[in-house]
Copies of this chain bind each other. A is one copy, B any other.
Amino acid sequence: MKFICQKNVLQEAISIAQKAVTGKSTMNILEGLLIKAIDNKITIIGSDTDLSIETKCEAEVLEFGAIVVEARLFGEIVRRLPNDDIEIATLENNTLHISCQKSNFTLVHMGAEDYPTLPQINENMVFNIPQGILKNMIKGTSFAIAQDETRPILTGVLFEVKDSKLNMVALDGYRLALRREFLETSNTISAVIPGKTLNEISKILEDKQDITNITFTTNHILFNLGNTKVISRLLEGEFIKYGSIIPEEFNVKITGKRSEMLNCIERASLMAKEGNTNLIRLNIEEDNLIITSNSQLGKVKEEMSIILQGQPLQIAFNSKYLIDMLKIMEEEEIVMEFTSSVSPCVVRNKDVNDCIYLVLPVRLLNN
């Protein structure tokens, strides 16, 4: 194998494929990147078996071939080379020669034949969605993924295509996040993608209109971004029927400014850290939301203007769940819907109907 590639181009490709190299695999070869040189393109593949990333870049290929090279060291060498053409060639004795200007490296490489083959995916049923929107939907839901493994299915995000919509849903025992976008398709699908692989995918997606093609098989999902393909294993099992969790009716509804509420709750939570309960109380009054918290540290009272529909209500929350949600929401005006002080609170944008958030309250002894 022998090729010449521009440093910046090669560095970018390595950094994409490297996102799938987690170093957590027990297979030594998965700490490497598979590099294939063929037809004036090089293909770089990284994988931890759950997540695989394949990316292509332009190069002047002088000799076809394929090798596996330790990802971290190879990436670091390329990153530190001058911004010029880099020549990469295999020598005898399983060594790889990397040269650029007056720098010369010789590394041991592994054999491409030992690298596991990627899952074959027939790109038949394809959904198209702009990268920026998908990235945003991941950001808007993945924070609510369950952190513990007691119910493995909840460590993923539900991808549900039906009625020409893509719904992405994450939930742990305490809150739920749903993002929804229009999708031009008559197909339906329901699959759960591991949260940790979604986070890596999110780093590769760019905030732009370029289309991602998404394909599903029984066990995998493929994101095709053009030069880069990302394949993730799906989680096995049935996701929770989230529709039945979200209350359709409410007694009390408040409308207010998201950033003001976030600031009030963040300040109130400073006094709620004692014993890690993060407990804050919301007193919903006519025109006013009063947020209080008490602990051994002292006490705090925050006040903000709201519009109330319904009766005044007192309800308590773990402030962390409200803060996570308010940070991730994007519209400035939000509505919160309540049924009682022990029922879930539903939060939406006031104007744009592309998300539903749900947070369980904390039941107080004196409620």
Q: Is the CB–CB distance between B270 and A77 below 8 Å?
A: yes
- B76 near A270 (CB under 8 angstroms)? yes
* Structural contact, A267 and B107, CB atoms closer than 8 A: no
A299 in the interface (beta carbon within 8 A): yes
User: Which residues on the B side are within 8 Å of A266 (C-beta)?
Assistant: 80
- Asked if A160 lies at the interface with its beta carbon under 8 angstroms from chain B, I say no
- Of the stretches A110-118, A300-308, A310-318, A336-344, the one at the interface is A300-308
Stretch touching chain B among A98-106, A183-191, A230-238: A98-106
Supposing A73-B270, A77-B267, A81-B267 touch, asked if A103 and B298 sit within 8 A by C-beta, the answer is: no
| Bound Cα distance A107, B270 (Å) | 11
Query: Contacts of A102 on B, CB cut-off 8 Å?
Result: 302-304
Residues of B within 8 A of A302 (CB): 102-104
Contact B106 A298 (CB under 8 A): yes
Given A270-B73, A270-B80, A304-B102, A107 contacting B298 (CB threshold 8 A) = yes
Query: Is the CB of A297 closer than 8 A to any CB of chain B?
Result: yes
Chain B residues with CB below 8 A from A80, complex form: 263, 266-267, 270
Known A-B contacts A105-B271, A271-B105; A82 and B297 likewise in contact (beta carbons under 8 Å) = no
Indicate whether A49 reaches chain B with its CB closer than 8 angstroms.
no
Asked if A6 lies at the interface with its beta carbon under 8 angstroms from chain B, I say no
Q: Which of A53-86 contact B (CB under 8 A)?
A: 70, 73, 76-77, 80-82
A108 near B: Cβ within 8 Å?
Answer: yes
Beta-carbon nearest neighbor of A105 in chain B:
B300
Residue of B nearest to A301 (CB): B104
**A82-B300 CB under 8 A given contacts A77-B270, A271-B105:** no
Q: Which residues of B contact A301 (CB under 8 A)?
A: 103-104
Minimum C-beta distance from A58 to chain B (A): 24
Determine how close the nearest CB of chain B comes to the CB of A205; give it in whole angstroms.
Answer: 30
- A270 to B264 Cα, complex, angstroms: 49
**A298, B91: Cα distance in complex, Å:** 13
Question: Is there contact, CB below 8 Å, between B108 and A297?
Answer: yes
Contact with B along A241-282 (1 / 0, CB 8 A): 000000000000000000000011011001100000000000
* Cα A266 to Cα B77 with chains together (Å): 10
- Tell which of B76, B103, B297 touches A107, judged by Cβ atoms closer than 8 Å: B297
Interface set of A (CB-CB < 8 Å, partner B): 70, 73, 76-77, 80-82, 95, 102-108, 263-264, 266-267, 270-271, 297-304
What are 22 A-B residue pairs whose CB atoms fall within 8 Å in the complex? A70-B297, A73-B270, A73-B297, A77-B267, A80-B263, A80-B267, A81-B267, A82-B263, A95-B298, A102-B302, A102-B303, A103-B301, A104-B301, A104-B302, A105-B267, A105-B271, A105-B298, A105-B299, A107-B297, A107-B298, A108-B297, A108-B298
Q: Which 4 A-B pairs have the closest CB atoms?
A: A107-B298, A102-B303, A104-B301, A80-B267
